[in-house]
Structure 1
């Protein structure tokens, strides 16, 4: 119907993310918007992105406040179609659905969100990254928007809890045009997995009630409520007693000091914390290091700069070139260690190298990666490293650019330190760190001299290789730095 409100739900912005922080609304209630017009800026654990509208019409309601963290699949914005009279809010009847009335209750929103996440994870094809949604009253832009995502409401809330044998729920024309048929499998949405993990529920012990054995939120909720006894009142009392102390300025019970501030851990910082914890928990890492005379490399770059100052690669690009050559020689360090649900383990190798590099931004530490870095020259690596650093610092790097690395290069020398006991960027198996380059006494041809020296540190997963492999790779990169001309001639 032309008078129906169209409800657009927060999409999964990539990499199975379960939530995003609403940074800024780009539209207001009453605004006329077009298909693919950016409506909000949101920050995920990966990047800052603009979310475009899959609908054209008049903004009827904004479902969220600036600074609020929204779950994937929950209503983001309601839009009245072009030419429709403003919808009058009304209480929905028992048979009304959330889309047709334009009024979304909490229960309906949760149910609709779960169904959206279920369909998305089953490969419904409703997530359109960098494209407008077919249909609508106006034509969308043909120019793709980096990091943009458009997701349309998949079905009325009334059909959400239908049985497996029920026919496929009615869809908007735009949804039907983007569905990929025949892609239904027993998968679990990120929020359902998170709910199970937070409550200590084993998904292996749950028989899914959804199509093809899909584990739904209701299945996990049933498992959570299964324990025979509720929490004892005595166990609840301490929590109630501590609650008033949550406000800043109150005394901290352990130190006796006043609490000056409480900063929520979210966005990039939350992702970094989770990733580092997982790395330390699962990876038995070992570290090897070596001091390297980088004088010849600096001299070679200085000579190149005299010839062509505008496009001379930086030192990190040369080292990146040496690293990709070393990973070809020692491919075990360019792998991933995987454990199957049945307890089986395997080392997964890759036909290519996506070289990640640590970049410090205002939002925290991120690791964009140069895809197919093994195919690039030092000059090409330099250009891509500079581009990725810029988009990462602007918060515009895509989830693919931030989550596809196979090995990480970390230049912490820019912070004025010599070395670091680095934490491997999970799920990779190794990381090479480069310290600052400083003048040090060095023996050259039996005589003491002042040379430009740096320290290389390799942290590696001892499950995938032994010290011989790690030392061989580290020594190879060190030799390339000490004899860059000969190394580049052989690459």
Structure 2
């Protein structure tokens, strides 16, 4: 939290997101500059690697500046907006300086509004007095003047104590260095051969935004316009060829959930000595049981919920499969609770929401929990608590029309079961060739936790339950 007790302004910073998360992408603002806000009013929507959340402002007053744009990546501790408390009149120039509070005497006072829903990092105690240094949007501790200073292109010359007057400055726009708020903006500019800091910024306080970079790209300012000194134009890429290439290529920054998924899957492949086994299973009786159960109860049961019930029974029978590896301690942790993760494709990407306490649920309760989880996958908006604590993952990729896969284990778990599509195939029953409903089960396990016996027995148990559901009755 940052505050200027003299001007009565408050900076609402991005709070600690928990779960080791340090950044989020700003999705949309719920307020605009000049709006009046009250304590705990939702002002911004951000997307972390775990979930999409709306954040409440802990202060009441008038919004005088917004420090980031939709699509920008913001870090925990970075200012999101500045609020002038009720009864404080802002000067005419306060909005134009990017929302950074001006420095005045230390005699002013303000009353912090008490919030009933404090964010992490915000309390109800009076803030400590801080020096009146300005902060740029490019860094958490960087100092910046209220108006961007024109910096000459001569690093050996010390900066002037006061900004040069526009009428006396001979510095051109190309020599200016503008603040850039987002690494994504800098990368976008760099990919097109543009120095983002050399562009005129239209954001608060002269910040260079994505729109500024896109305008420069569309105007033809690319790699050809920024040939390094000493490089002949003949050695530079052809502007036409570069333009054609950039028109055909699409670059998508790896951020948010995609970044976390990439890191976790990469670590899983690097760290785990995994092995995969599979079985083809006759699911004809499973489909018949589902139909009979629905006819008898008048309720709907998904195949996924039925298989989930078999999996829970198998995990109770072979608890080593319901384990995780504590690499730091060098220990195998066998869990007492069964928290069943369900790999789900969402608009945000691959997520694994968790049905907690699945081992204690009845078939009907498990069905309802699985159904609710699958329903939320359509939006991808899960509470952070729903995405943590899993002990085993079930992956139904058959819905995508594929038969099998070698799934990647969801760290720190030690195993995952994959379900393929159900399809009519030739099958031998009682010595006779017939057509049956057949599916493939793919099971991947961590060889550090167990050898081949327990995984094979677990997979065979689940397969037997699918082929003959009544065989599960003794396990209930």
Normalized against structure 1, the TM-score is what? Answer: 0.67
Mapped pair 1:76 → 2:69: no
Partner of 1:318: 306
By how many angstroms is 1:259 displaced? 5.2
Mapped pair 1:412 → 2:420: no
By how many angstroms is 1:140 displaced? 4.8
Partner of 1:132: none
Give the Cα–Cα distance (whole angstroms) in 2 for the partners of residues 266 and 318 of structure 1.
36
Greater RCO structure (CA 8 Å; 6+ sep): 1
By how many angstroms is 1:149 displaced? 4.9
Mapped pair 1:367 → 2:352: yes
Partner of 2:280: 291
Give the Cα–Cα distance (whole angstroms) in 2 for the partners of residues 248 and 488 of structure 1.
71
Q: Contact between 2:10 and 2:84, CA under 8 Å: does it hold in 1?
A: yes
By how many angstroms is 1:82 displaced? 2.9
Residues 402 and 96 (structure 1 numbering): CA distance in 2 closer, same or farther, change over 3 Å?
A: farther
CA deviation vs aligned residue, 1:131-154 (integer Å, no higher than 9, x gap): xxxx826x758xxxxxx9564278
Normalized against structure 2, the TM-score is what? Answer: 0.69
Partner of 1:333: 321
Secondary structure, aligned partner of 2:462? helix
By how many angstroms is 1:406 displaced? 1.1
Gaps of 5+ in 1: 103-134, 142-147, 160-236
Q: Contact between 1:249 and 1:258, CA under 8 Å: does it hold in 2?
A: no
Q: Contact between 1:248 and 1:261, CA under 8 Å: does it hold in 2?
A: no
Residue correspondence of structure 1 range 72-151 to structure 2 within 5 A: 72-86=76-90, 89=94, 91-92=102-103, 136=113, 140=116, 149=119, 151=121
Residues 386 and 17 (structure 1 numbering): CA distance in 2 closer, same or farther, change over 3 Å?
A: same
* Structure whose CA Rg is larger: 2
By how many angstroms is 1:490 displaced? 2.9
By how many angstroms is 1:2 displaced? 8.6
Cα RMSD (Å): 3.2
By how many angstroms is 1:313 displaced? 1.8
Residue correspondence of structure 1 range 380-459 to structure 2 within 5 A: 380-459=365-444
By how many angstroms is 1:358 displaced? 1.0
Residues 157 and 467 (structure 1 numbering): CA distance in 2 closer, same or farther, change over 3 Å?
A: farther
Give the Cα–Cα distance (whole angstroms) in 1 for the partners of residues 128 and 358 of structure 2.
46
CA deviation vs aligned residue, 1:72-91 (integer Å, no higher than 9, x gap): 11111222223333367464
CA deviation vs aligned residue, 1:176-204 (integer Å, no higher than 9, x gap): xxxxxxxxxxxxxxxxxxxxxxxxxxxxx
Give the Cα–Cα distance (whole angstroms) in 1 for the partners of residues 246 and 103 of structure 2.
52
Secondary structure, aligned partner of 1:384? helix
Secondary structure, aligned partner of 1:388? helix
Give the Cα–Cα distance (whole angstroms) in 2 for the partners of residues 388 and 101 of structure 1.
49
